[in-house]
Amino acid sequence: MIGVFDSGIGGLSVFGEILRLLPREIHYYLADQAHVPYGPRTLEQIREYSRQITQFLINRGVKIIVIACNTISAAALYYLREQFPDVYFVGMEPAIKPSIEKTRTGIIGVIATQATFQGKPYENLIKKYAGVAEVVHQSCPGLVEKVEAGTIDTAETRFLLKQYLSPMIEKKVDQLVLGCTHYHYLKSIIQEIMGENVSIIDPALPVAKQTVSILNHYRNEQRFREQTEQKKHQFFTSGNINDFTSQIIRFLPFIGTNFEVREIRCNSGEIVE
């Protein structure tokens, strides 16, 4: 019923919240780890990878697709909606509006990939919601790779975070938006560096709630039926299947053994198992 995809494991943060809210549904998660990170890639590359992934999920009966990646959402969300008009897409965007509503100092910070900041959706968000608030944004090259490698609480990762967050501290931001789903797994370290007076805005739960709202809306219109037969959640990776399985167990410990992991590859512009 619901498919979630990301360049890697960052989207597991969103997927985990969806699992908690919809434990009876059959869910699909695809990690394109052969091409991670997406941040340095061209718009055309990201769109083509996303098109292939979307078609793969549709072929498995998925009706709602969550793009659990800010970079992909910025580069390909509008494109995918045009290419697949019968699919319900949920995208990611930096939580500019709620952070501005909560700020006390009038200064908020956003950390994300460079591709997210260069996308039209981010520009539109700033124009629509920033107003008189000051928005300090910082791209963070290397952090996605650290999370993918599992080197989260290390001296090197902390050094990168301190380097990227120091402008936020100097500006005295009181709201810090996580504009990349991979950063979810760095949240405790980010909070430690920023201090307890700074609120960390994580989009994982709000996006999961939006997904549930969409599902319930179309159920009310009897477009989707509720699933009653319990099956295992399906995970796919274009990377190393053993490494990905370990990452699922680490970041989704509550899932137990109720999942299967399969390897995928791109063959002539189409994803196959």
Going by C-alpha positions, the residue among 98, 101, 96, 100 that lies closest to residue 124 is: 96
140 carries an active-site annotation: no
* Contact residues for 203 (Cβ-Cβ < 8 A; gap 6+): 14, 92, 93, 94, 95, 178, 181
d(CA 195, CA 189): 10
Cα 133 from Cα 150, distance rounded (Å): 36
**Which of 69, 96, 186, 201 does the annotation list as catalytic?**
69
Active-site residue, from 115, 168, 180, 264: 180
**266: annotated active-site residue:** no
Convert the chain into a string of H (helix), E (strand) and C (coil): CEEEEECCCCCHHHHHHHHHHCCCCCEEEEECCCCCCCCCCCHHHHHHHHHHHHHHHHCCCCCEEEECCHHHHHHHHHHHHHHCCCCEEECCCCCHHHHHHHCCCCEEEEEECHHHHHCHHHHHHHHHHHCCCEEEEEECCCHHHHHHHCCCCCHHHHHHHHHHHHHHHHHCCCEEEECCHHHHHHHHHHHHHHCCCCEEECCHHHHHHHHHHHHHHHHHCCCCCCCCCCCCEEEEECCCHHHHHHHHHHHCHHHCCCEEEEECEEECCEEEC
Active site residues: 69, 180
